[in-house]
Amino acid sequence: MPEFIFISQAEGSIHINSDFNFSIFLSEFCDDTPISYGVKLAGISWGIDIFKINKNFKNKFQEYISNSSNGISPYAKKFYYESIRPLAEPEYVIIAFIKAHDQIPKNYISLVKDLLSLSLKEYNSSKTNDFRKCLENALRKLDPLLSSSVDIYLNYDLYDSYGQGKIGESDRNKRKCRFCGKTIEDGVKFSNKAHIIPEAFGNKKFICNEECDNCNHFFGENIETHLIKYFDFFRVFSQTKGKEGPLKIHFDNNNILSNRNIVNIPTDESSSNNMIYIVNKTASKTDSIDINNLSIPFKIKNIVEQNIYKSIIKMGINFLPPQYLSYFSETIKWLLGQKQSTELPLGFRRNNFSPSSPEPSLGLFIRSNDNFNLPFLIVSFHFYFTTFFLIAPFCSQDRRTFITPQEIEDTKNILKPILDDNYDIISLNSLNPIEYIINLNLKHTPKKQ
Ligand SMILES: [Zn+2]
């Protein structure tokens, strides 16, 4: 269960238990994209998200916690009321969200509170706007042996998609497409919901307002299909639902994979949710299967790797805070096919075979200084076992092209704490359609007596 710690700019901290509905909080109280900082303290990695709370926060928050149906205990309600009341205008709240760690020891929370209080004390007394520096100083004080992951947030602001809703201008008449630059006056429409992470990965609510129907159609037809096909096998295993419910995917060698019962195998209710079905259209009933050693290939044809690259960078442009958009005009031309290249930056692919979350997520690493050895924008896309970390090409803020291993050496060192050891350096330059084959090897393990 996640833990939340609220710290008001004025003083003190409020510890919110996991009964708090975080996504409601985000949509109701926050105007802006949170800024995330990666932290490794006492050997445990987690993240702090800084939210700018909107004006109505105090009233709305009190209203929210007094609503009897939200499951907050009367004791906790009293506690929240008393902690919120002394907040001065304008209110500012820092929320530490300890991500993806349900194994965090109880006493660790007090260490986190110390860290945040220390950072905040310096933040308030120095009147600086640089929370990252204060956090770094506090980390040094608390944990002199702290890990190299500090380097990431010394050089980058981290934005992640967790809990995000709609990005960009809400008034349709004022919208300008991030890709073609056109508005309603120029004749484009904004009628379709532009999903930032394609709907095929189960994303319903992470939407970009600033993508016109033409561009949405173009990316959907030409680019994103390659990313979706690349992950088809894992989409079934992650129990992702498509637009029309459970998935049933036909691979190019007559094997069908589905997370719905397509062959009428009776299952009991409790197990049916986690079943995967494999059907081969050409196999006959008399074919014998060696159940002790079964290898099933799934073939996917016509994947253009550069389109996987484009899909991920395109999501990054959708999610990018607007002040940075002008740095990416050449990148956008490339996404739209108006600029061609097969000399693109190298990237990283991490494989984590014990996925912490099957949910797709998107992350932006935006360089916060003039260290030109590092790329300005790295976009990460995570789904199931795989996370890509890709450099946005053609950014006006870059002096390097990152097309050789030497050129990405510094980037690799910075990302190392996130990459662990399970990563490959990859090139997604190719424009030639290729064929992927995933072999599913099944081994029968007899039960121990
Ligand atoms: Zn457009």
CB environment 97-135: b (16+ within 10 A), e (fewer):
bbbebeebeeebeebbbebbbbbbebbeeeeeeebbbbb
CA distance from start to end of the chain: 36
User: pLDDT tens digits for 362-399?
Assistant: 999 999 889 999 999 999 999 988 999 999 999 999 99
Q: Cα(339) to centroid of ligand 1, in Å? A: 16
Mean per-residue pLDDT, 43-63: 66
Angle, to 10 degrees, between the axis of helix 57-66 and the axis of helix 74-84? 170
Higher-confidence position of 37 and 97: 37
Identify which has the larger pLDDT, 355 or 245: 245
Give yes or no for a contact between 246 and 330, defined as CB atoms under 8 angstroms apart: no
Give pLDDT, residue 400: 95
**pLDDT tens, position by position, 57-111:** 667 666 766 765 655 666 556 656 665 555 554 445 555 555 434 455 555 666 6
In this structure, what are the phi and psi dihedrals at residue 142, rounded to the nearest 5 degrees? -85, -30
What does the pLDDT read at residue 357?
A: 61
**Predicted local distance difference test score (pLDDT) of residue 76:** 58
Percent pLDDT > 90 in the chain is: 39
Query: How many A from CA of 197 to the centre of ligand 1?
Result: 17
Lowest-pLDDT choice from 37-41, 261-265, 313-317, 351-355: 261-265
- Mean pLDDT for 181-194 is 96
Residue 349: half-sphere exposure toward Cβ, Cα within 13 Å: 13
Tokens of 347: 């990237």
Token digits for 50?
A: 């800084």
Is the confidence at residue 130, as pLDDT, over 60?
A: yes
Residues 246 and 260 sit within 8 Å (Cβ to Cβ): yes
Q: Is 55 helix (H, G, I), strand (E, B) or coil?
A: coil
Ligand 1 center from residue 177 Cα (angstroms): 5
Q: Give which of 73, 32, 68 is closest to 50, Cα–Cα.
A: 32
Q: How far is the CA of 327 from the centre of ligand 1 (A)?
A: 18
Kindly give the distance from the C-alpha atom of residue 188 to the centroid of ligand 1, in angstroms, as a whole number: 7
**Predicted pLDDT of residue 25:** 62
pLDDT score of 416 more than 90? no
Assigned token pair, 171 = 């008034």
pTM: 0.69
| Residue 239 Rama label (left phi>0; alpha psi -120 to 50; beta) | left
8-state DSSP, 177: -
Where does the pLDDT of residue 115 fall: very low under 50, low under 70, confident under 90, or very high at 90 and above? confident
Q: State mean pLDDT over 115-121.
A: 73
Query: For the residues 152-165, what does the mean pLDDT come to?
Result: 77
Residue predicted with more confidence, 394 or 158: 394
**Mean pLDDT, range 223-239, rounded to an integer:** 90
Q: How far apart, in whole angstroms, are the C-alpha atoms of residue 133 and residue 157?
A: 12
Looking at mean pLDDT, say which of 116-125, 189-198, 287-296, 344-353 comes out highest: 189-198
More confident residue, 71 or 284: 284
User: What average pLDDT does the chain have?
Assistant: 78
Q: What is the rounded average pLDDT of the residues 270-293?
A: 67
CA–centroid distance, 178 to ligand 1, in Å, is 7
Handedness of CA 226, 229, 234, 240 (dihedral sign): positive
The rounded distance, in Å, linking the Cα atoms of 45 and 111 is 13
User: What whole-number distance in Å separates Cα of residue 197 and Cα of residue 205?
Assistant: 9
Distance 218 CA to ligand 1 centre (A): 9
For 176, residues 6+ apart whose C-beta sits below 8 A from its C-beta are 169, 182, 183, 210
Give the CA dihedral 135, 136, 141, 146, nearest 10 degrees.
120
C-alpha of 198 from chain center: 12
> What is the C-alpha to C-alpha distance for residues 421 and 424, in angstroms, rounded to an integer?
9
165 Cα–ligand 1 center, Å: 20
d(CA 415, CA 161): 19
Domain locations along the chain: 4-147, 148-234+300-433, 235-299
> pLDDT value at position 152?
75
Residues 158-166 have a mean pLDDT of 79
Residues counted in the chain: 449
pLDDT recorded at residue 310 = 98
Distance separating alpha carbons of residues 246 and 261, to the nearest angstrom? 9
Q: What is the pLDDT of residue 15?
A: 43
Calculate how far, in angstroms, residue 141's C-alpha sits from the geometric centre of ligand 1. 49
More confident residue, 368 or 329: 329
